[in-house]
Amino acid sequence: MPFQKQSSVLHKFKGILYSTMCSEELLKSLDFFNAREDDVFLVSYPKSGTHWVAEVIENIPNVSMSLTSPIELGDISKFEELNMYRKRRVIPTHLSYNMLPMNIKQKQCKIIYIVRNPKDTAVSLFHYYRDNPNLPGIETWAGFLELFLRGDVVYGSWFDHVLSWEEHKNDKNILIIFYEEMKKDLSKSIKKIINFLGINVSDSEINKITRKTSFSEMKNNAAKENCDPNHTICALTTNRNLVFRKGAVGDWINYFTSKQKRVFDELFTEKMKHSELARHFEDSS
């Protein structure tokens, strides 16, 4: 799809496509953001599980935290809006490491980075493009996959995004969580998140959080909470019904032809050859 066709809902900033809901003025001003030392950032490439981790954090009992809307969503008044929060802030974003405000890095704020199998991410983003009026209309899966592999989609290349964060995987203020691990053993992932945030929670409370944040439970709740504008965790939509589709692991197999899989795998091998995180996906690809 030529860039002109996308330009009504997307714009390019530093070579990367962003939604027009993220103003250029705000993207240019990110380094003026004043982080607090106790801020928590939830980061991922789109369609990788940010909402899920946000739900987990929101369900931790007796913890005074406020979930904000994404740091890059809106215009320059964003910083003023974020400044109004009195409690400890949990701030979602889909920014790559290089785009993250300098102040967050200087203050060593806690960052949870969520990674998902890129094939499942591509399928999920394809459906998101089709259903979301804030993203360009897409005709076919084949056409979308070409855009995805070229990085001509919102927030750019999955490979570049993940690699930008992997470079910092050993930083003590960064926790990497895999979507597939959350699906396999949610309570174990919840324990990791809680320990990382330095919060004490009993086993029975962890079991309760696990029940409340199962994918099916969240999907049911999304319909009820859809009219709540304060629950915008995504820089691409305020419609929570668009966020929870299948949440499946391995659904890509129903979309990729053998040729598409081969092309994808070749690019994956080339781009991720030095990546330790990539090994996590070798069994599922």
β-pairing verdict for 65-67 and 88-93: parallel
Phi-psi region of 131 (alpha: psi -120 to 50; beta: other; left: phi over 0): alpha
Q: Which residues is 77 bridged to in the sheet?
A: none
The tokens 């369609």 sit on which residue? 47
β-pairing verdict for 174-178 and 110-115: parallel
Sign of torsion over alpha carbons 192, 193, 196, 202 = negative
- Rounded Cα distance between 164 and 160, Å, is 6
β-pairing verdict for 16-19 and 10-13: antiparallel
Q: Which of 51, 94, 127, 231 is catalytic?
A: 94
* Whether residue 94 lies in the annotated active site: yes
- Rounded Cα distance between 100 and 71, Å, is 10
Q: Is 228 exposed, middle or buried (0-12, 13-18, 19+ CB in 10 A)?
A: exposed
Max Cα–Cα distance, the chain, nearest Å: 54
- Rounded Cα distance between 193 and 175, Å, is 8
Q: Which residues is 6 bridged to in the sheet?
A: none
Q: Which residues are catalytic?
A: 94
